[in-house]
Amino acid sequence: MNVNYSKDFQGAWLDLPHYAKSVVCIGCFDGVHIGHQALIQKARTYAHAFDLNVIALCFNPHPKEFLNQFKVDQLTTIAERFRLLKHYGVDHCVCLNFDQALATLSAESFLSKIVSDALNAQVIVVGDNFKCGHQQSGNIDFLKQWTYQQAIQLDVVSLMTLDQAVVSSTRCRASINDPVYLSQLLGRSHLTL
pLDDT mean across residues, the chain: 91
SS3 72: coil
Are 91 and 4 in contact, with CB atoms under 8 Å apart? yes
- Name residues whose C-beta falls within 8 Å of residue 5's C-beta, 6 or more positions apart in sequence: none
Q: Note the maximum CA span of the chain.
A: 46
Pairing relationship of beta strands 165-166 and 161-162 according to DSSP bridges:
antiparallel
> Which domains can be identified in the chain, with CATH numbers?
8-160 (3.40.50.620)
Where do runs of H (alpha helix) occur along the chain?
Answer: 34-50, 63-68, 78-87, 100-103, 107-109, 140-150, 169-174, 179-186
Question: Residue 18's pLDDT is what?
Answer: 84
How do residues 66-105 score in pLDDT, each as one tens digit? 888 888 899 999 999 999 999 999 999 999 999 999 999 9
**Separation of alpha carbons 54 and 48, rounded Å:** 10
Residue 192 has pLDDT above 70, yes or no: no
**Separation of alpha carbons 178 and 57, rounded Å:** 29
**The whole model's pTM is what?**
0.92
Question: Residue 1's pLDDT is what?
Answer: 30
How do residues 15-27 score in pLDDT, each as one tens digit? 778 889 999 999 9
How do residues 56-74 score in pLDDT, each as one tens digit? 999 998 998 988 888 889 9
